[in-house]
Chains A and B, each alone.
Chain A
Amino acid sequence: MNGVHDFGGMDGLGPIDYETNEPVFHAEWERRVFALTLAMGCTGAWNLDMSRHARERTPPAEYLAASYYEIWLSGLERLLDETGLLSRAELDARVAALRAAAD
């Protein structure tokens, strides 16, 4: 199945942006998304191909605008919702509660 993620050979995407002495992660939330994804992968609720496919189903415009770990987050949320382990509604409600507490 093709999709927006299939970049091989595509024109017009600009120069390669090389960062010297690049850190492994660029923000704490990236560390958490990385580890949550790996840890949930170990539960056996899905396999590696399903994870990849979940990321590839990120809507194309969103995929192009997202950073790498944003795409991982999108894939993880999709798998959790589809497997019934955590619905989007429940996640949205918790986000709203955290925001209200922070305000």
Chain B
Amino acid sequence: MGKHRHTEPPSDLVLRVKALESLLVEKGLVESAALDVLIDTYENKVGPRNGAKVVARAWSDDAYKARLLTDAGAAIAELGFTGRQGEDMLVVENTPKVHNLTVCTLCSCYPWPVLGLPPVWYKSAPYRARAVRDPRGVLREFGLELPDDVEIRVWDSTAELRYLVLPERPAGTEGLGEDDLAKLVTRDSMIGVAKASAPGRPEEARP
């Protein structure tokens, strides 16, 4: 699973997918235009900017944060983010003493409405294998070295329940509004393999 990051499919595979689509269209089971809409939605419209808005709101509004931590689905829906693979959600909060990390050891469960589709590494065998066994080592591989006294909690996602990490609000952000705060919230910080960016240098951050 891990080695196919850049997929260069044999023409067999491309032909097979074309054959499959043409048959399903002919049978009236799918419409090509509807497929295009689905692709555009998940390629261009739904993504981690949604989650970043949720986090920025939680950082700015204590009452919202309380709702987010008790009923994540409803609180996320308040911002208009709903849909498949986000039906049942739990938001887990990072603190100076607790760091949360999410994974799906069995496959690729991930909160689509707030993060979009997962990156290849999240779906890869090495991450799925080691996130639960050696989370501290995995975080080190992502460049995040946590002190020994920080507890790491690993959440294994399922089709029934998906997780979003609420990262710690970075120091020095007291004067920032939600839009500027959201720019500091990376995808990786909401998966739990990074912290939110420090202010002033979000452009250097990983996605």
Contacts and interface: CB of A to CB of B under 8 A. Distances in A.
Interface in B1-23: 1-9, 12-23
B67 interface: no
Given A16-B127, A35-B35, A94-B23, A8 B132 contact: yes
Interface string A45-60: 0001100100110000
Interface stretch (B71-79, B118-126, B176-184): B118-126
Contacts, number: 172
B81 to A, nearest CB: 17
Contacts of A94: 19-20, 22-23
Sorting the interface of chain B by its residue count into under 10, 10 to 19, 20 to 34 or 35 or more gives 35 or more
Sorting the interface of chain A by its residue count into under 10, 10 to 19, 20 to 34 or 35 or more gives 35 or more
A98 B19 contact: yes
Nearest to A93: B19
Contacts of A61: none
Interface in A53-93: 55-56, 63-64, 66-71, 73, 76-77, 80, 85-86, 90-91
B30 interface: yes
A18 B24 CA distance: 35
Contacts of A48: 159
Interface stretch (B51-59, B103-111, B144-152, B195-203): B103-111
B63 interface: no
A50 B13 CA distance: 23
A36 B35 contact: yes
A74 to B, nearest CB: 10
Contact of B119 (A19, A28, A29, A71): A19
B16 A91 contact: yes
A48 to B, nearest CB: 6
In the A-B complex, the 3 residue pairs with the closest CB atoms: A8-B105, A67-B4, A35-B35
Interface of A: 5-11, 13-22, 24-36, 38-40, 43, 48-49, 52, 55-56, 63-64, 66-71, 73, 76-77, 80, 85-86, 90-91, 94-95, 97-99, 102
18 contacts: A7-B129, A8-B128, A11-B129, A16-B2, A16-B142, A19-B120, A25-B39, A33-B17, A35-B34, A40-B29, A40-B30, A63-B1, A73-B17, A86-B24, A94-B23, A95-B16, A97-B19, A99-B15
Given A5-B106, A27-B9, 4 more contacts: A17-B124, A24-B117, A64-B1, A86-B27
